[in-house]
Amino acid sequence: MLKKLFKPKYVPYDAKYIQLSEEDERNIRAITDDIKNYVSKSDKVSNVDYHTRDAHAKGYCVLKAKFEIVDNLPTEYAQGLYAKSGIHDAVIRFSNGAPFIAADRKLGMAQGLAIKVFDVPGEKLAPGEENSTTFDFNLVNYPVFFCNTIEDYTYISKLFLELPKYIEKGAIGKAKLAFNWLTNYGSRLPTKESFKTFKAVGGFMKIEPKNTLLYDFHSQGVVRHGDFMAKIRVTPTKASAKKVTRRELDINARDEAIRPLIIDEIREHDYQFDVQIQLCRNLKKQPIEEITTEWKESDAPFVTVATLTIPCQDIPDDGHFEIMENLSFTPFRCLKENRPIGNLQQSRLKAYQIASETRHKLNGVKRSEPKSLKQTFDKSFF
């Protein structure tokens, strides 16, 4: 009786969070132009013989997985993808968040987990892929993003793509980065918002080095969750975290320090993450548009809606490099009930599409979406 009496209320989804102004559209075109230009020269930036992604350029490995949606979820959690329980094949990609490829010690600890779930019926939002049967997640091992609006991201995205230039200049480069970030390349005085975003990006620099399998991964931005709004977290189960024997990461030990830690663990045992939803309860405490702000778990708890299992498997030392490079992930390869929302998130629709199309074209690789795990690992598919 008490549980019913004090059942929490959740903020309903509002379509205003996906609306764009003409200025937003102009800024998105500027952002995608910068991305296209960067990808076209990414081979030279990273000194490799292929064109890379504009973010998460260095992949560590691609792994076979299972995505199991929990049975008998409460109505408020059984929304969209999670409305029907069941087990789906999946493929995942672990990566570094930087826009270029280098020795691990030069890239920082921001890392990504991309998930592709197979056999998901329903129309998808990715342009030209409405009939796709896959559903993607793009997650990062840090709870907040470093920007809030499309307007600010128009210049901040350029700074992000220019990171190699600043990093190679050491302390002077970092000081110049800070100046350009806070003042939009010297065009204005620092603002409260610019200090907020710079503080957020500083948090990425403080991520603790450890085995990738021990991190939590976050959506950072907000997603529609059917009738409600939410953030997503993918967190290691306690039992799986205990299995990891290679826990400490010596980033300076060798150029490739991170990939072997993941691969060696999965060659020995399976691993599992809980996929969790954090529903918005209060717009002041859980803002939709301010994704530099973390939603406190004490105010809005996480609830497990699915499990992601990585079975023990044989993996080549390169982490399935060719497959890893040819796959495409976008948070808009999703159902409308689970779409990204909020102003900045809408720019990701075109950004991911343009980056993928440009990369595949320049690499001379057919851009195709696999329909199954078997097809994914068939090298003749791409």
CB 280 within 8 A of CB 11: yes
In our burial notation (b when 16+ CB lie closer than 10 A, e otherwise), range 93-129 reads: bbbbbbbbbbebeebbbbbbbbbbbbbbebebbbeeb
Helix or strand (DSSP H, E) at 136:
strand 135-140
**Residue % of the chain over a pLDDT of 90:** 85
DSSP 155-223: HHHHHHHTHHHHHTTHHHHHHHHHHHHHHTTTTS---HHHHHHHHHHHHHTTPPP--GGG--EE--SEE
Residue 117 token pair: 């779930």
**pLDDT above 50 (res 1):** no
Count how many residues are written for the chain. Answer: 382
Nearest CA among 265, 270, 250 for reference residue 310: 270
Local structure of 115: helix, strand or coil:
strand
Nearest CA among 251, 250, 303, 242 for reference residue 272: 242
Angle between helices 343-363 and 22-46 (to 10 degrees): 40
Residue pLDDT, tens place only, 239-270: 999 999 999 999 999 999 999 999 999 999 99
Query: How much is the mean pLDDT over the chain?
Result: 94
Residue 146 token pair: 């470093």
Whole-structure pTM value: 0.95
Average pLDDT over residues 310-326: 96
Residue pLDDT, tens place only, 350-364: 999 999 999 999 999
